[in-house]
Amino acid sequence: MSRPNIDWPTLGFDYLRTDLRYLSHWRGGAWDGGTLTGDNTLHISEASSALHYGQQCFEGLKAYRCRDGSVNLFRPDRNAARMHRSSARLLMPPVPTETFIDACRQVVRANLGYLPPYGTGGALYLRPFLIGVGHNVRVASAPEFLFSVFCFPVGPYFKGGLTPTNFVVSRYDRAAPNGTGAAKVGGNYAASLLPGQEARGQGFADGIYLDPETHTKIEEVGSANFFGITRDGKVVTPRSPSILPGVTRDSLMYLARERLGLEVEERDVYVDRLGDFAEAGACGTAAVITPIGGVQHGETFHVFHSETEVGPVTRRLYDELTGIQFGDVEAPEGWTVKVE
């Protein structure tokens, strides 16, 4: 049953308090059994490491209502695996994959009234996160940890859905060489706030980050991964140790190769070679796929898509991916987990 005060077709990407969320604590070397709570306020020590030293990581995934009324989680095991890597990078205890997936399923079941109906294009966004808490003012790992999952209904991340959007190459770095770029940690996103604001102030959706060492290669598009379609039909995505390994990016590369029969390359993408691409896009859990209409680099504005026309390969990838997520297209084995 949907909530009468939610206008599904106009949903954006904003927080909306839902009924219940999952909460679990790590103390004395072990996780407790976890629980669902109606309290959306965290109660933690003022000396928590998450507040002072950024010891925290998070994930993002979605639940989708299918035509037959069932509910899909899309590749939650990949999000659990990435949280394992992020938590290891920040000296935090891993959340077991089974616990991670079970917590997500519990939260979806407890908030089914907020799940957008099939056909609206919306989904239920889940935000699992892991933070260091307890009394600790030294630059050291926290004595306790908190794992939580909350959710809220969402529509398109960028307004207009699958509509070409323009970006500008940023003068800032997203991450440092050998830093935390490949981990999904809050500090990476805090560093992106000012560049994003400057990009929007110039009339663009967001900034495009170059590699921090040479500033010659594209790494990420705001908070999403970059992909391009070459003029001879290859699907290309950047390779770098400071890029977040996106679940959506990985899925699109698989689908391009196995379902569309296209050649896929993970390699350096030089910003002065944008002319090699006939199409380009940003991809991620929040954005799904956002076609890149054009990129402003210095004095040059490179156009990929017109203001209204989406390239054929980008469209096919989008249709295949969203078809799988909403249960209209057969999923590769293990890609979807039924909630009910």
Q: 96 falls in which pLDDT band (50, 70, 90)?
A: very high
Which pLDDT tens digit goes with each residue over 190-247?
A: 999 999 999 999 999 999 999 999 999 999 999 899 999 999 999 999 999 999 999 9
Show the DSSP H helices in 4-158 as ranges.
Answer: 49-52, 76-89, 97-110
What pLDDT is attached to residue 41? Answer: 97
Residues 152 and 155: their CA atoms lie apart, in Å, by: 10
Same domain flag for 80 and 224? no
Same domain flag for 202 and 290? yes
Backbone angles phi, psi at 136, to 5 degrees: -160, 115
Residue 296 has pLDDT above 60, yes or no: yes
Same domain flag for 242 and 285? yes
Same domain flag for 55 and 178? no
Per the CB < 8 A criterion, the answer to whether 117 and 92 are in contact is: no
Indicate which CATH number applies to the domain containing 17.
Answer: 3.30.470.10
Same domain flag for 227 and 291? yes
Residue 267: helix, strand or coil by DSSP? Answer: strand
| Domain-located, residue 159 | no
Same domain flag for 87 and 200? no
**What is the percent of the chain with per-residue pLDDT over 70, rounded to a whole number?**
96
The domain of 33 spans 8-154
CA distances from 17 to 37, 114, 125 (A): 12, 10, 12
| Domain-located, residue 102 | yes
Same domain flag for 268 and 302? yes
Q: 159 falls in which pLDDT band (50, 70, 90)?
A: low
Same domain flag for 110 and 173? no
Active-site positions read: 184
CA distances from 141 to 12, 49, 132, 148 (A): 37, 7, 7, 19
Q: How many CA atoms lie within 13 A of 169 on its CB side?
A: 20
Among the candidates 126, 154, 182, a domain finishes at 154
Enter the tokens of residue 327.
């249960």
Per residue, the 3-state secondary structure of 36-66, as one string, reads: EECCCCCCCCCCCHHHHCCCEEECCEEEEEC
In this prediction the pTM is 0.94
Q: How many CA atoms lie within 13 A of 295 on its CB side?
A: 27
Indicate which CATH number applies to the domain containing 220.
Answer: 3.20.10.10
Same domain flag for 245 and 178? yes
Residues 99 and 168: their CA atoms lie apart, in Å, by: 40
Which pLDDT tens digit goes with each residue over 30-87?
A: 999 999 999 999 999 999 999 999 999 999 999 999 999 999 999 999 999 999 999 9
Query: CA 91: distance to chain centroid?
Result: 22
Domain count, the chain: 2
What pLDDT is attached to residue 253? Answer: 98
Among the candidates 114, 132, 154, a domain finishes at 154
Residue 308 has pLDDT above 90, yes or no: no
